[in-house]
Amino acid sequence: MILLTPSSGFFQHTNKLILREQAAQLRLREFARKNAANALSVANMVVGMASILSSLNGHHYAACWLVLIGYLLDLADGAVARQLDACSALGAKLDDFADFTTFGIATALLLRTASMLDGLLCMCYVLSVFARLCFFSSGIPFMYCGLPCIYSSAILACASLLTGGNVAVLRITAVAMILFMVSQNFYPHDRVLESQAWKKVVYAGGVVMVFCSSFPPACVYYLLWSVSYILFPTTLWSCKV
């Protein structure tokens, strides 16, 4: 009786293939871990560009709605980066580019009309977002200097939807938001997904509202959320893990 046994060379070749596959899986998981938050930032940027195109093509409703989606993505990317221990200089730059696209240019275009005055207001809004992103550090841990631009964008988008794009309301709101952003007031670092459980519930409610609700209730929800951050920053929104 002759027994057929695999040669040692076959075993070595199989082991090498298994090790290579395991190494490839490890590299893939590591790549996914390091870039999950970056993917959210890129998604935020894409949403912002889509909002810009919607505004330029006259799709006002879609432009506002996309800004609110960017709001959710921006609150998530930092939490994901810290949770996965994947914070990086590249991630910080991507986040700033995404914020400037969605909460600067895209939001400013919600104010755009044929009026020269509104064009000037758009420019001032974009510059205030630029200044806010460049000089937000307050020197105090977990505190911002000036209102974070995501909240001013959400308020403008909701005001635009609820008033049907009323120019007078948007002008007044935009001026107020510009003043809040360039002010020297302190605002807490809004780690919504890394703080108390009720804040996570608020975030989950925002996801449900923007994807599963008609726009009036969703706009009221986001308006109350953002205004509460302005009115009660330390009482409600300070980071308490």
Per domain, the residue ranges of the chain are 17-237
CATH class of 17-237: mainly alpha
Contacts of 67 (CB under 8 A, 6+ apart): 47, 48, 51, 102, 103, 106, 107, 110, 153, 154, 156, 157
pLDDT at 159: 95
CB 132 within 8 A of CB 162: no
pLDDT at 11: 65
Q: Is 220 exposed, middle or buried (0-12, 13-18, 19+ CB in 10 A)?
A: middle
Per-residue pLDDT 10s for the chain (241 aa) are 444 455 566 667 677 777 777 777 777 777 676 778 889 999 999 999 999 999 999 999 999 999 999 999 999 988 888 888 877 888 888 999 999 999 999 999 998 877 888 899 999 999 999 999 888 766 677 788 889 999 999 999 999 999 988 999 999 999 999 999 998 888 988 788 888 899 999 999 999 998 887 778 999 999 999 999 999 998 888 865 4
Residue type at position 47: V
Is pTM beyond 0.75? Reply is: yes
pLDDT at 2: 46
Residue in the structure block whose two tokens are 């432009």:
63
